[in-house]
Amino acid sequence: MTGRRNGGAEPTDAMKPTVTSWEVGAMTLLSLLAFAAGVWIAAANVNLSLSAKNVGGSIMARGMVMRPDQPGASMKDMSAVAASAVTYTAPVDARGDRELKPRMENGVKVFPLETSVIRWHILPNVSVEAYAYNQQVPGPRIHVMQGDRVRFVVTNHLPEPTTIHWHGLIVPNNMDGPADITQRPIAPGETFTYEFTVRQSGTYFYHSHDEPDRQQGLGLYGAFIVDSKGSARHLPPHDLEYTVQLQEWLVEEGRTYPAMIMDGPYQIILRLTERLTRQPRRST
């Protein structure tokens, strides 16, 4: 096959390389330096020791901080909800904060609570992949009387462990909820029972206490209202009572992320743009 290149023509002077060996050497050196700089910059800014197993195929939001010491767990914490985990789509007009009626068992008010991933409409034309108690966001309203004995049978259908904390209520330590502090987290598919006597009265709430920045941010919270035995004496006469629960959602390119403060170049640009485009507010 020799001599068949270029249609069989003999090489001419015009085809001979005109670069010197010095020039080849310089280009080689520059390329090696650029390669070394590329590896060094990447290694200095992200955690290259993480494997796919560490982060479990997590999808990250734009602008997420990537530091060399970023642990895989924190990336999972901030990652998008896996669309494949959705087990129920709530009707467009479904509402959260529905009062959960207990069943009585030997003088104890028993409330079943189930966590799962649902598709939930936050506006008629905007839906999110939410973490929910009893398929609603906010979770069902718990409404009891001061002095009641209550039992919550919590079954976890999330793809990750969870727990519940009874915010502001003084309960026995092992019923308080912080994962890996006062209890072993409730693994996917497991059930855990909380039981205590409600000694205070007022407006409280319950929420997840395992990766709470993720799980609360995705919808795992609800109101816990305790009527005072002496409410008639302490409250002024009123016709209506409102309970307000606020939540922020982060949806990017169709994926739902727990809304939490993020840093990084993208967020800085976003904030600068916001500042530059903000209209002066009229005082009212």
**Segment interacting with Cu ion (CB under 5 A) among 77-85, 116-124, 165-173, 263-271:** 165-173
CB closer to Cu ion out of 208 and 256: 208
CB closer to Cu ion out of 121 and 221: 221
Does residue 167 belong to the site contacting Cu ion (CB under 5 A)?
Answer: yes
CB closer to Cu ion out of 62 and 167: 167
Does residue 67 belong to the site contacting Cu ion (CB under 5 A)?
Answer: no
Contacts of 205 (CB under 8 A, 6+ apart): 167, 168, 221, 222, 223, 224, 245
CB atoms within 10 A of CB 178: 14
CB closer to Cu ion out of 5 and 167: 167
CB closer to Cu ion out of 157 and 207: 207
How near is the Cβ of 235 to Cu ion at its closest, in Å? 24
**Segment interacting with Cu ion (CB under 5 A) among 13-21, 65-73, 163-171, 254-262:** 163-171
Q: How far apart are CA 19 and CA 30, in angstroms?
A: 16
Q: How far apart are CA 81 and CA 269, in angstroms?
A: 25
CA angle 217, 219, 220 (to 5 degrees): 100
Q: How far is CA 68 from the centre of its chain?
A: 22
Instruction: Report which residue type is found at 116.
Output: S
Q: Which residues pair with 22 in a beta bridge?
A: none
CB closer to Cu ion out of 127 and 163: 163
How near is the Cβ of 148 to Cu ion at its closest, in Å? 20
Do 88 and 116 form a contact (C-beta atoms < 8 A)? Answer: yes
Does residue 170 belong to the site contacting Cu ion (CB under 5 A)?
Answer: no
How near is the Cβ of 162 to Cu ion at its closest, in Å? 14
How near is the Cβ of 179 to Cu ion at its closest, in Å? 13
As separate numbers, helices (DSSP H) first and strands (DSSP E) second, the chain gives 6, 12
**Segment interacting with Cu ion (CB under 5 A) among 93-101, 152-160, 164-172, 221-229:** 164-172
CB closer to Cu ion out of 167 and 229: 167
Q: Is residue 52 helix, strand or coil?
A: helix
* Helix/strand/coil percent split, the chain, to 5: 25, 30, 45
Identify the CA nearest to 159 among candidates 111, 214, 232, 92: 214
**Segment interacting with Cu ion (CB under 5 A) among 54-62, 160-168, 227-235, 271-279:** 160-168
**Number of residues in contact with Cu ion under rule CB under 5 A:** 1
How near is the Cβ of 167 to Cu ion at its closest, in Å? 3
Q: How far is CA 89 from the centre of its chain?
A: 19
How near is the Cβ of 165 to Cu ion at its closest, in Å? 5
Q: Which residues bind Cu ion (CB under 5 A)?
A: 167
